[in-house]
Amino acid sequence: MNVAGKQQPELIERPASLLVPTWTKLGIALLYNKDTRNTYDVRLKLTKEVLTIQKLDVVCTGGGDPQINHRTVVLRRQSTGGLGLSIKGGAEHKVPVVISKIFKDQVADQTGKLFVGDAMLQINGINVDNCTHEEVVNLLRSAGDEVTITVQYLREVPSFLKLPLDSPGPPSDQSSRVSSPLFDSGLHLNGNCNNTAPSLPSSPLANKPKYEKRWLDAVSLPLLMARVSRFKAGTDKLRSNSFEVCTVDGASSNILQFFTAAECTDWLQVISTNISDLTLDNMKMINKYCSPADQIVHMGWVCETPPAVDGGSLSTFKFLALRGPSLYIFRSPPVNTADWGGSETIYNLYEVLFKVHKVWTAEDCWIQARYYLGLQQDEEKQDGEAFSFSILVGHGQSHSFSVEMTSELVVWEKSFQRAVFMEVQRVGSKTYMCSNQGKVLCFTIDFGSGFTCSESSSSNILWRYKFSQLKGSSDDGKTRVKLLFKNAENQQIEMKELEFANLTAVLHCIHSFIAAKVASVDPVFINSQSISGKYLN
């Protein structure tokens, strides 16, 4: 779309100097991998524009190739303390054998090359990828006084490593040499590991090359047009203390889990705030190139729950935009000019009705007021509870949406009010064709004068009332409506009956014009429009 000779931009291309973050938030979380069904520790690094997921890895810090992840280490068994390590895992559980404990000042610790989380690849040249736990225990026990092992740090450390050390396993029978893959096998490898062997002097070669664990970037998720969700995919059920982040191109963080509800809420809120700020920046840029009648008031992700069919329904994510005269519903965000023509649905703003599902108690109303003033922080959402709203359109039709936080619900409500107010003021009036007793009539809703009914053929005005004179209405839910007006002269109620092809659109339009008329004389609403520059050019 060209406006005044200018082309509307696509996603904002920011100079490199503007990409330098001014702050960074760090924190530890658990990441659930949908493919491996494994949960492991990650570190989150959040800047204004990017969420980076970091995984632990072992890196070479000197004397070796930092790109080589495999390490071969020679262990000389001690008479007291053995090899100085414990292992868990095995092929019978479809997981590698992993070092689960390294005993301080014993052989494995003195090498400086072994770490908890190292997966064993070879023992004395024998590949152990497909070996059971007991087979690996036997290999280590029978390997002699000098054992050569090749290891690789397992970035996605299996969850069984988090089991308490020295957990009671199956009854130990030293004669049968039984060991459990889910419990530490230190006793079988080292004897009594509580006895710390005297420290042996490290050879110069033992310290070269040097290795250490570090958090390394694994996944970077751009936050512009991204979405955050606690909903389980395809359902209206909420996850507990967890959520996922999905980017505009479909990339996902997988499920991030947190240890406490407060920590989950904190991360959910700060990531959502960054996404909102980036969306706001993009809206400002687009609005600079658009006419006043085509401004974006608000846009963002919501979760849509369609009406239940055959006892069930699948929730899907939609991207909504309040722009100019229309409400747009997209399957994916419009990232360039052409995408605005590919919306799933478009509705005239003044012919739809916004309805909040949540019933506000007296306490909730105070909380809601604080959200409007920007003084309230989001609380944790209880499982099964959703902050929802509906868009009511034609006869018996509606869209039900939900968002993650109360603050988002408030923003959508305020934005919809602002967008409808602006559109009603812009169009000024709307005329619909109708009929009464077989006569074709024109029914006009005018922001300045109110309601007017005239003959279609001659434009002869039959009656006219102000908005304030409308005292009630009733309809048959199909095509007919009765409007009750108070006569200004004799104070009598007068009924006007009309029939419309699209009655719902007309009733919504009446509601929009009256709401805009009331808002125009409401000082609180008018003062709130002074912040509209935050959204509009």
Q: Evaluate if residue 36 carries a pLDDT over 80.
A: no
- Identify the pLDDT of residue 241: 87
Q: Is 501 in contact with 443 (CB distance < 8 Å)?
A: no
Give the percent of the chain with pLDDT over 70.
74
Summarize the confidence of residues 401-414 as an average pLDDT.
89
| pLDDT bucket at 174, cuts 50 / 70 / 90 | very low
Q: What is the pLDDT of residue 233?
A: 60
Q: What is the mean pLDDT of the chain?
A: 80
What are the b/e assignments for 80-101, b being 16+ CB within 10 Å? ebbbbbbbbbbbeeebbbbbbb
CA separation for the pair 133, 131 (Å, rounded)? 7
Max avg pLDDT among 48-62, 186-200, 234-248, 381-395: 48-62
Q: Which residues contact 387 (CB under 8 A, 6 or more apart)?
A: 358, 381, 402, 403, 404, 405, 406, 408, 409
Q: Is the pLDDT of residue 177 over 50?
A: no
By CB neighbour count within 10 A (0-12 exposed, 13-18 middle, 19+ buried), where does 495 fall? exposed
- 253 closest CA partner among 404, 29, 496: 29
Cα torsion angle, 358, 359, 360, 361, sign:
negative
Confidence of residue 14 (pLDDT cuts 50, 70, 90): very low
Among candidate residues 323, 318, 245, the one with its CA nearest the CA of residue 536: 323
Residues with Cβ within 8 Å of residue 493, at least 6 apart in sequence: 471, 484, 485, 486, 487
Residue 65: per-residue pLDDT: 59
pLDDT at residue 154, as a whole number: 84
pLDDT band at 308 (very low <50, low <70, confident <90, very high): low
Distances (CA, A) of 102 to 9, 127, 177, 273, 407: 57, 22, 21, 42, 48
Mean pLDDT of 105-124: 90
Res. 396: pLDDT tops 90: no
Residue 430: helix, strand or coil by DSSP? strand
CA 507 to chain centre: 35
| Residue 175 DSSP label | T
What local confidence, expressed as pLDDT, does residue 67 receive?
Answer: 54
Please answer whether residues 123 and 136 qualify as being in contact, where contact means their C-beta atoms are separated by less than 8 angstroms: yes
C-alpha 59/C-alpha 216 separation (Å) is: 9
pLDDT beyond 80 at 212: yes
Most confident of 98-102, 313-317, 366-370: 98-102
CB 158 within 8 A of CB 37: no
State the DSSP string of 203-236.
PGGGGSSEEEEEEEEEEEEE-TT-EEE-BPTTSS
The identity of residue 365, as a single letter, is C
Percent of the chain scoring above 90 in pLDDT: 46
Does the pLDDT of residue 272 top 90, yes or no?
yes
CA–CA gap between residue 146 and residue 251 (Å, rounded): 47
Q: Which has more confidence, 375 or 71? A: 71
Report in angstroms the alpha-carbon separations of 286 from 8, 43, 134. 6, 35, 64
pLDDT at 531: 37
C-alpha to C-alpha distances, 360 to 192, 356, 406, nearest whole angstrom = 64, 10, 12
Asked which of 41-55, 62-76, 435-449 is least confident by mean pLDDT, the reply is: 62-76
Q: What pLDDT does residue 501 have?
A: 92
Kindly indicate the confidence band of residue 15, based on its pLDDT and cuts at 50, 70 and 90.
Answer: very low
CA distances in angstroms from 265 to 141, 324, 450, listed in the order given = 49, 34, 47
Among 56-65, 194-203, 327-336, which is the least confidently predicted range? 194-203
Q: What separation in angstroms does the CA of 460 have from each of 115, 453, 455?
A: 91, 9, 5
The DSSP secondary structure of 180-198, one letter per residue, reads: -TTS--HHHHHS-TTSPPP
pLDDT digits (tens, 9 = 90+) for 482-529: 999 999 899 999 999 999 999 999 999 999 999 999 888 766 655 655
Helices (H), 40-170: 107-111, 133-141
Question: What does the alpha-carbon distance between residue 46 and residue 256 come to, in Å, rounded to a whole number?
Answer: 14
- pLDDT of 278 reads 95
pLDDT at 404: 84
